[in-house]
Structure formats: structure tokens, C-alpha cells
Amino acid sequence: QEMESILKQLGIRPLNPAYSTGQQWGKIQEGKKEIKVYTPINGEYIATVQTATREDYEEVIRKAQEAFKVWRKVPAPKRGEIVRQIGERLRFYKDALGKLVTFEMGKIYQEGLGEVQEMIDICDFATGLSRQLYGFTMHSERPDHRMYEQYHPLGLVGIISAFNFPVAVWSWNAMIAAVCGDVCIWKPSEKTPLTAIACQHIVSEVLKENNLPEGIFNLVIGDAEVGKWMAEDPRIPLISATGSTRMGKQVAQVVAARLGKSLLELGGNNAIIITPNANIEMAVRATVFGAVGTCGQRCTTTRRLIVHDSVYEEVKERLIEIYERLPIGNPLDPSVLVGPLIDKQAVDTFVKALESVQKEGGKLIYGGEVLKGEAYGNGHYVKPAIVEAENHFATVQEETFAPILYLIRYKGEVEEAIEIQNSVKQGLSSAIFTQNLREAELFLSAAGSDCGIANVNIGTSGAEIGGAFGGEKETGGGRESGSDAWKFYMRRQTNTINYGTALPLAQGIKFDV
């Protein structure tokens, strides 16, 4: 019942909302594919959503192209004003949208609210940014010449997002792209279409009130097939894709084949190093939040803990003590910290990873059970696991999207720990816990962490929107959100203006005709 009222508040018709492009309501049309959405909380059915057909998709592209002609001429600070209004509207809907995130994705309500707060924050950031899309000016080597660079909108930006941050990742892209003058086409994860529909309603309200075309923000619901249409489509100059490395490799190749731009935010295999100079209490707390928060389903989840031999036993004991007290259960219960995994497949992956790491010689020292019983309904709840392992194990090298923490021991200097931390294919987030300046600075130096995010005395997850977010190696190399990530959403143009009457050439070349 609560779910129905939330859907109503967010403008989603309960039970059978047929939805493809943002406008079409009613019964699922003949011959169209549908997605049935169930909550991971107890497996209950929420709604059926219709996926976009190729015709729907073409219609969306047409609307987006039309809208771009209008939007690119709206002055950037005025575009910022629209994004400001979206931020205000998100404040209004924060509780309902946060709850829908919990219903649909299963993260605890506090994290659902946190995700919406992140959307609000990026709206504020983008509003300010809309007055700061600066280019450089340069001194020309020729007399009476002026040189400068400017940034223009790219056009259509395709956003393919993952289930685990069903709304925030879209906003990181869409709000920045919007102030840059781009129009967006969003394909959310097929596991979380409802929260996307809710966001679409929120932005549509604001566009309507401002007499702007609805095609500035677009939504296409569907699975990987719809994502492929976007990746192949030369009408979309930039594809920003968030998800697994497997998906990123496919998208990267398809987009590169047409010389489009791709911004990839892919899997992580993040580690925390705990040195003998660490504040152990801080380190352990950060590890637990990083390892079990969102039930281990964050791209920045702490998956490996590299601990110095001299503090290893102490850290291990403290971790087990805390894991024993972890409240696991319904993510709407405010006392719960660990909710369910997204679906049955995720539970199977968790179980299989634990089996395979043990076959390789890993020792399961805590958790790993699939939880059954009334409190867990038909949900997908597991007890977060701690495994003593070695970094080179094939299972440890992979990102298993579930709460498994691998404890890895190092015996020598911090250089050894850094070497271990860098010895994986992924390069998203990393952290060191130490009170020693030399260790901390080495970790941040060119010879230190090879990740896109490197933290000192803070865990691997929970990044702020102000920084550019993303990672190296198989994480894909993309950067989005804060800092100057906006530049990727624009095309750069260098302009030289001659206000004299002669036509001098650069490099002193003489070419008299």
C-alpha cells in the first residue's frame, strides 16, 4: 500500500503502467516487450513497464534533435536556472523518490535519501557551473590577431546506467550535460525502470512550466538491445555508460567504430590499505561501511583489505565483532544497515564466488550464508562474508557485486601494500589508513595508487560530487560529476580573429601570391 501511494505521489500509475517514451500510458500494446518489476525486499510484484520499440526510439531521437535546436540557443545561465528548478523539485520529492529507490533497488532508506541528495547537490553544482563554462584566451603570434577557445554543446548525449545507483548516476550526467546545452537520452537499467520514470516526470513538470520542449530530457526503457541501438547511433555523439566492464568493452568498441565519444564508468576492485601507523578504529569502521554498505553493490565497495602483519589479527577480530552485530533485513527499517541483493542471480554469484575462492585456498572466516525465514520473505538477503585470501586468486581479481571482503596480509613496507593494491585490472577507488606522512604521500604520489580515486584516512566509497568521479584501467577512464568533467560534454573550438588589414601567416611562412 505504501508503495502504491509512493508511485502515485511520483505520478506513476500503479500496477500496470505502460511506459516507453515518457508520454504513453495505458495497456501494454500488442507485440511490445515488457519488464515486470519486483521489489528485492520481499519479491513482491510492483509494476509492469513496457519497453521502447525501434519506432519509439526513433521518435525519441527525433524529439531530442528538435529540442536540441531550441536548447542550444538558451543562454547557459538560463539553462542553469532550469536545472536549479529541477533541484528544487527534487527537494520536494526527496522522501518519495528515496523510498522508491529503496523499494525498487533494495538499498536502505537512508542510502535512498542519500542518492536523491546527491542529485540535489549536482543540480546546485551545475547551476553554478552554468556561469563558468570557461575557455582560455591565448596571445597570438601574429599582430592584430586574437585567439581564444570556446565550448559548444555536443548535441545528443546517451546515458546508459546501472541498477545500483538508479537515479544519481543519471543526474551526474544529465544535469551537467543540460547546462552544457546538450539534450539527454537515458536508458536506465532494466532492473530499475520505475525510479527512472519518476525522474522523467519530475523533469517534465519543470520543462512544461517553463514552456520548453519535453525532448530536452528523454527516457527509453529497455534492456541491452536498446543500449546497443544508442551505442551504434551516429546521431548521438557521446555515450556515457555506467555498468560492468563486460558491458563497457562492448559499448566502447561499437562507439569507437563510428568514432563517437564514450565516457565509461565501469567495475571496481577497490582496496583499503591498513598500515601499522593506522588509527585502527577509524580504519575498521570505514572498511565495514565500504564493504557492506548497499550490500556490497557499489562500484566503490571495499572488496580487498590489505593489512600489515603486525595489526592483522587485531583488525580481523574487530571486523568479526562488528560483522556479528550488523543488522540485516528490510531496508525500510531504520535500524537495518544491510538490505537485500538486487535479485536471485546476484545471490547465486555471491555463493559461487565464495565456493571458488575457497577452492583456490581462501578461508571463509565469517558469513556467507543465504538468509532464509520469515524476516527475509522471498527477498535476497545474505550474510556479508569475510575471507582470508591472496591477491592473485582468480576470484579476488574479479569484481563480485556482493558483500565479500577479502583480507590480504602484507609483511614489508608500504610499497609492498601499494603493489598488491595496484595488482588488479580495475582502477576505481583506493584508500590508505595511516598517520604517517611519508606513507600517505607515497600512496598519493606517481609511484602510489593507480586508481582514479585515492583517499587518506577515508574509505573507498561515498565520494562527493565536487570531484571528478571515475577510474583507470578496466574501470574505463571516464570522469563525470564535478571539477572540469563538464568539458567532455562539450565540443571545444579554437577561434582566431584577424582585426588588421594584412594577412600574416603563422610560423612566419611567406606565401605571396
C-alpha cell at 322: 562488528
CB 168 within 8 A of CB 480: no
Q: Which amino acid is at 260?
A: G
Taking CB under 6 A as the criterion, the residue among 166, 215, 267, 296 binding ligand NAD is 267
C-alpha cell at 433: 589508513
- 224 interacts with ligand NAD by CB under 6 A: yes
Instruction: Output 202 or 299, the one with its CB closest to ligand NAD.
Output: 299
Q: 10 Å Cβ neighbour count for 49? A: 24
Taking CB under 6 A as the criterion, the residue among 98, 181, 243, 482 binding ligand NAD is 243
Q: Which residues contact 230 (CB under 8 A, 6 or more apart)?
A: 158, 160, 185, 187, 220, 236, 239
- 249 interacts with ligand NAD by CB under 6 A: no
CA pair distance 64, 194, nearest whole angstrom: 21
Of 414-473, which residues contact ligand NAD (CB under 6 A)? Answer: 428, 471
Cβ 175 to ligand NAD shortest distance, Å: 16
Taking CB under 6 A as the criterion, the residue among 164, 302, 455, 461 binding ligand NAD is 164
Cβ 168 to ligand NAD shortest distance, Å: 9
Identify which range of 35-43, 174-182, 247-255, 481-489 contacts ligand NAD by CB under 6 A. Answer: 247-255
Residue of 478, 456, 399 lying closest to 172 (CA atoms) = 478
CA pair distance 121, 466, nearest whole angstrom: 9
- 351 interacts with ligand NAD by CB under 6 A: no
Helix, coil or strand: residue 137: strand
- 104 interacts with ligand NAD by CB under 6 A: no
- 242 interacts with ligand NAD by CB under 6 A: yes
Taking CB under 6 A as the criterion, the residue among 20, 21, 189, 275 binding ligand NAD is 189
Residue of 144, 201, 254 lying closest to 503 (CA atoms) = 144
Q: Which amino acid is at 166?
A: P
CA pair distance 261, 159, nearest whole angstrom: 12
- 118 interacts with ligand NAD by CB under 6 A: no
Instruction: Output 266 or 485, the one with its CB closest to ligand NAD.
Output: 266
Catalytic (active site) residue 390: no
- 268 interacts with ligand NAD by CB under 6 A: yes
59, 104, 115, 265: the catalytic one is 265
Q: Which residues contact 148 (CB under 8 A, 6 or more apart)?
A: 135, 136, 137, 138, 494, 495
- 219 interacts with ligand NAD by CB under 6 A: no
C-alpha cell at 70: 531550441
Q: Which residue is nearest to ligand NAD (CB)?
A: 227
- 247 interacts with ligand NAD by CB under 6 A: yes
Residue of 183, 197, 178 lying closest to 133 (CA atoms) = 178
Footprint on this chain of ligand NAD (rule: CB under 6 A): 160-165, 169, 187, 189-190, 223-224, 227-228, 231, 242-244, 247, 250-251, 265-268, 299, 399, 401, 428, 471, 475
Active-site residues: which are they? 265
